[in-house]
Amino acid sequence: MNFFDRFFLKIFLFAAPVLRKMNVNMEHLRAILVAKLTMDNRRPAAFQQMRASKEKKELNQATLKTMFVSLIIGLFFLMSFAIGNDITTQLTFFFSMFIFMLAATLITDFTSVLIDTRDNLIILPKPVNDATFVTARLLHIAIHINKLLLPMALPSLIALIVMQGPSAIVPFILMILFATMLSVFLVNAVYIFILKITKPSNFQSVISYFQIAFAVVIYGSYQLLPRMMSKMGIDTMKVSELHNISYYPPYWFADACNSISTFSFESRNIYNLMLAIGIPLVSIFVVVKYFAPAFTRNLSMITGSTEEIKIKNVSKNESLAYRQSWIEKLASKFTSGSSEYMGFLFTWKMMGRSKDFKMKVYPGFGYLIVIIAMMMLQSNSPSLADFNEMTERGKSMFIVFLYFGSFIVLSAIGQLPYSDKFKAAWIFAITPIDAPGKLLSGALKSVIICFYIPLVLLFSLFGIVIIGPSILPNLVLGCFNVLAVTSLIAYMTLRKLPFSVSSQDASKNKTTARNFLTMLIPMLLGGIHWLIFDYTWAVVILAILAVIATWMIMDSIRNMSWAKIENFDVNR
C-alpha cells in the first residue's frame, strides 16, 4: 500500500471502539481492507485501459495514478471561478462539474470493484462474521470515494480560501460531503436503470460504453468549454437571476456554501440550505433502503460467469438469427472464398465483443466529433454557404472531414492483432488455410465496412444534399484514397493474425517513425486532392488510379503467405 492508502485506512479505523460494539472483528477487518487496497493498486483505472500497455510488469501504483488524474480534473474545475461576477454563480458551475465528474468516475472506475463477487467465494467460507464482511465492503467504498473527491475538491478549496478567506473552509467541506451523497445516489440510479433496460449479463458491456463516453467527455470538455465560454460571454452571468434555478441541485450547494460562509440567511438562502442538506440525506436513505438491496439481488447475475444461456423456443430468438444472417449476407457480398469469409465474420464479432478493442478504438469516433465541433467554433469556421459555393474555406474543411476518417480506420487496424484472449488463436493453426492473407484481407474488409463505410455514407449524404451531385467525383477520389492508404499501411504493418497477440505486446512494434508515416500519408494525399479539387478531369483520372491501387493492394494482402506472418507457428 502507498502513503494515501495507509492514511485513509488509519483515519477510518479510528472508529474501532464503535465498530467493536457492532460486533466487528477489527483484526479481520484490517486484513480484508489491506488486501482490498493492495488489489486496487494492481487494478488499472479506466483511463489506463484506453491506451496500450507498455510494460508487462504488474501495476503497483494504480491508486496514485487515479488520484493524479482526479487532481488534474480538480485543476480543470478552477475555470468555474472565471464564470460570472458572483461567488454563487461560480460555485454553481463548480458543483455541476464536481457532481457529474465524481458520478461518472465512480461508474467507470469503481464498477469492477462493486460487481466483484470474489468476496463471496474467498471471505465468506472463512470464519468472518457478517458485520465484519459488510463493514469491510462499506469502508472500502468510502476510502475509494475519498481518494477521488479529495484531489478533485482541493484546488477549488484553495481558490475559495484565497477569494473568501478561511470562513469558507467548513461550509465548502460540508457541501462537498452532501454533493458526494447525491453523486452516490445518481450512481446507484444509473446502475438500477441499466439493469432495468438490459440483461444483467450485459451490465459490464454497458459500463464499458460509459467508460468510452466518459473519456470523450473529458477530452471534449477540455477542448470545447474554454472556446464556448469565450464566445458566450458568460463572464457577467448571474445564475440567481435565471428562471427555475431553484430546482437545480448544484445551485442549492453553491448558495448554501455562500450563505454559511458569509452568515447571510434570507428566506431564499434558508430554503436552499434545507434542500442542500435534506435531499442528499433522503437520497442516501433511498440508496440504503431500496437501491442497494435491488442491486445486491442482481449482483450474482451481473458477473455472467455462471449464467447459462437458455433457449426456450425458436420464436424468441428470431431477432438473433436475423442479425447473424444479416452479417453473413454482408460478408458473402464483400468477400471471396471461405477463408476470407471466415476472417470477415470472426473479426466483426470479435470487434463487438472485445472490451479491450472497444476501449482503445471506439473513443476515436467521439474525438472526431469533438474535433469537428472545435473547427466549427473557430472564428473563421465555414458556414453552409461556404460548402454550398465551395469556397476556399468550404473546400479545405471538406477535405479535412473526408480524410480524417482514415485515422479511425488506422487505429482499428493497429489494434486488430491484439487481444486479452490471445491464447485462443490456436484455432488458426488447426484450420486448413493455405494462405493466411485471406484471413487478413477478410479482417481488413470487416474493419473498413464497420468503421469507415458508415462515415462515407453519412458524409456523402451531406455532400449531395448541401453541395449537389457535382461533388461525387471528389467524394469517390477521397474515399478510395483513404481505402488505398489504409490497405497499403495494413500491407506494410499487419503481420499478425487477428486477435492472436497479447495486448501487453501492443507497443513493441509501434515506433515513432511508423506512427508518423501513418499520419503523413493521408495528409499528403489530402493536400494533393485540395490542389486538384476544381479540375474534374484530374479528379476522375486519380480516382480511377486510386480504385486500381486499392484493388491491387488488397489482392497482395489476400495472397500473403505463412512466411510473412510474424510470431505464429503453423505447426504448433
Predicted confidence band of residue 309 (pLDDT cuts 50, 70, 90): very low
127-168, pLDDT tens digit by residue?
888 788 878 878 888 888 888 888 989 999 999 898 888 888
Higher pLDDT, 262 or 426: 262
Q: State the pLDDT at residue 373.
A: 74
Q: What is the largest CA-CA distance in the chain?
A: 87
Q: State the pLDDT at residue 299.
A: 60
Higher pLDDT, 54 or 28: 28
Coil, helix or strand at residue 454: helix
Residue 311 has pLDDT above 50, yes or no: no
Q: State the pLDDT at residue 377.
A: 67
Q: At what angle do helices 62-76 and 87-109 cross, to 10 degrees?
A: 150
Higher pLDDT, 559 or 308: 559
CA–CA distance, 180 with 192 (Å, rounded to integer): 18
Domain ranges of the chain: 3-303, 329-564
Residue 102 has pLDDT above 50, yes or no: yes
Q: State the pLDDT at residue 173.
A: 92
Q: State the pLDDT at residue 349.
A: 86
Predicted confidence band of residue 172 (pLDDT cuts 50, 70, 90): very high
| Cα torsion angle, 347, 352, 356, 358, sign | positive
397-409, pLDDT tens digit by residue?
788 888 887 888 8
Average pLDDT over residues 201-210: 74
CA distances from 118 to 39, 62, 112, 300 (A): 12, 20, 11, 10
Q: State the pLDDT at residue 203.
A: 73
36-90, pLDDT tens digit by residue?
888 877 766 655 555 544 444 445 567 787 788 888 888 888 888 888 778 888 8
CB contact set of 513 (below 8 Å; sequence gap of 6+) = none
CA–CA distance, 521 with 523 (Å, rounded to integer): 5
Tell me the chain's radius of gyration from C-alpha atoms: 28
Average pLDDT over residues 218-239: 66
Q: In this structure, what C-alpha cell is assigned to residue 532? A: 486538384
Higher pLDDT, 371 or 274: 274
Supply φ then ψ for residue 502, to 5 degrees. Answer: -60, 145
Least confident of 30-34, 69-73, 167-171, 363-367: 363-367
146: part of which helix (H) or strand (E)? helix 130-164
Amino acid at 356: D
